[in-house]
């Protein structure tokens, strides 16, 4: 996996969006970070409680985590595997 330095403001934006109830895919589009990187940085942040919206965010997150990594930027593995590798400190 190619390592790219992300601006602290970009990371903080991702965390703030997650707290407001955004799904991984939405955060990825706004911050231009791969979904696995978004999951790495916002893992453990609870989504804002908003009834059905919360349920759909969790469903969308589950679907996004099974999609392959960003082409030409990451390995062609599911995002949950890439997130796990990033948590383990594996760099490629």
Question: Can you give the residue range of the structural domain that contains 39?
Answer: 8-87
On whether residue 20 sits in a domain, the answer given is yes
- Residues 37-51 pLDDT 10s: 999 999 888 777 776
Judge whether 1 lies within some domain. no
Q: Flag whether 2 is in a domain.
A: no
| Total structural domains within the chain | 1
pLDDT at residue 27, rounded to an integer: 93
Residue 3 covered by a domain: no
Is the residue at 81 inside a domain? Answer: yes
Report which of 1, 48, 6 is spatially closest to residue 23, judged by C-alpha positions: 48
Residue linked to tokens 């409680």: 49
pTM: 0.75
The answer to whether position 42 is within a domain reads yes
């Amino acid at each position: 996996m190619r390592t790219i330095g992300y601006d602290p403001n970009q990371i903080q934006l991702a965390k703030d969006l997650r707290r407001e109830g955004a799904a991984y895919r939405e955060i990825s589009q706004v911050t231009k970070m791969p979904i696995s990187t978004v999951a790495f940085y916002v893992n453990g942040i609870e989504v804002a409680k908003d009834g059905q919206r919360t349920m759909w965010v969790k469903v969308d997150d589950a679907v996004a985590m099974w999609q392959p990594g960003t082409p030409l930027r990451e390995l062609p593995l599911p995002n949950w595997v890439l997130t796990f590798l990033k948590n383990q400190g594996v760099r490629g």
